[in-house]
Amino acid sequence: MNYLAHSFLTFTDGQIVGQFLEDFIRNRDRFSFPKDIQDGITLHRAIDTFTDSHPAIHEAKKIFSPLVRLYAGAFVDVSMDYFVANDLQLHSLAEWKAHSLRVYRVLNEHKKWLPENFKLMLKKMEEDDWLYNYREDWGIKFSIKNVLNKAKYLEKDIPVFEAFLENKDALQQCYHDFFPDLLDHAKGVNTLLQLEN
């Protein structure tokens, strides 16, 4: 899952911070954070593990694999954020906007825990409102381009966005087959985390 889904699948402010930190810290550093942030890191990992093993995600990867091989999962993650952002059964547009603003606020309020490279990204994320704009084709195009730019072994002009557009209906079906299961899983993990507190 990508940034929007991870931020949506949280239950406390600290978990929001942990969900975002997971991709920016070394494993051994996770214990240096407050318990609530550690819970977010744990939740992030549980979400990724569940996602990687779900049959619908395996189907979605087949759309991108011919183009990007082992990077297919990264592009599925970005694609799923498009469908999360457009899922009005989860939130109305106004609620998605409020969610995005809350995430930026929480992250800014916890800046002392954020590494410098994340702070730079957060500034861009907030300025361009990445979380809310994942609902737009151009927002996902921007995210796909970012993944391509970061990938060491991929050409930068691979038509991944075109594959997303051509297969949007199939990807949406994968989302509908997958996301309710993920939501239930995240709730279960959170319940276990709260029992540890």
Average pLDDT of 26-35?
A: 85
Average pLDDT of 103-108?
A: 97
Residue bearing the bigger pLDDT, 25 or 197: 25
**What is the residue whose two structure tokens read 């072994």?**
153
How many domains, in total, are found in the chain?
A: 1
d(CA 139, CA 81): 10
Asked if residue 178 lies in contact with residue 54, where contact means CB atoms within 8 angstroms, the answer is yes
- Domain of 117 in residue numbering reads as 3-196
Nearest C-alpha neighbor of 84 from the set 130, 43, 121, 41: 130
Q: What is the pLDDT of residue 142?
A: 93
d(CA 139, CA 33): 32
**What's the DSSP call for residue 74?**
H
Q: DSSP for 108-130?
A: HHTGGGS-HHHHHHHHHHHHTTH
Positive or negative, the Cα torsion across 6, 40, 22, 112? positive
Nearest C-alpha neighbor of 74 from the set 85, 87, 65: 65
d(CA 139, CA 150): 17
Give percent above pLDDT 70 in the chain.
99
Q: What is the pLDDT of residue 23?
A: 85
Percent of the chain as helix, strand, coil, to the nearest 5: 80, 0, 20
Average pLDDT of 30-38?
A: 90
Each residue's pLDDT tens digit, 7-28: 999 999 999 999 999 988 887 8
Average pLDDT of 104-112?
A: 96
Average pLDDT of 123-132?
A: 95
pLDDT band at 197 (very low <50, low <70, confident <90, very high): low
Asked if pLDDT for residue 125 goes beyond 80, the answer is yes
Element (H, E) at 131: helix 130-133
Q: What is the pLDDT of residue 57?
A: 97
Q: What is the pLDDT of residue 100?
A: 97
Each residue's pLDDT tens digit, 150-196: 888 888 999 999 999 999 999 999 999 999 999 999 999 999 988 87
Which pair of tokens denotes residue 156? Answer: 């930068």
